[in-house]
Amino acid sequence: MSNKILSALFGAGLAALALSPAAMAEPQELAEMHAEMEGCEACHADGEPSADGAHEFEQCQSCHGTMEEMDDVHKPHEGNLMCADCHAPHDSNVGDRPACDSCHDDGRTAESVLK
Q: Is residue 76 part of a domain?
A: yes
How many CA atoms does the CB half-sphere of 21 hold within 13 Å?
0
CATH of the domain at 106: 1.10.1130.10
- Which residues constitute the domain of residue 73? 27-112
Q: Is residue 15 part of a domain?
A: no
Q: Is residue 1 part of a domain?
A: no
pLDDT in tens, the chain (115 residues): 444 444 444 444 444 444 445 555 789 999 999 999 999 999 999 889 999 999 999 999 999 999 999 998 899 999 999 999 999 999 999 999 888 888 888 877 777 777 6
The whole-number pLDDT of residue 48 equals 92
Taking the CA atoms of residue 103, residue 107, residue 111 and residue 112 in that order, the dihedral angle to the nearest 10 degrees is -120
Q: Is residue 11 part of a domain?
A: no
The whole-number pLDDT of residue 21 equals 52
Q: Is residue 12 part of a domain?
A: no
The total number of structural domains in the chain stands at: 1
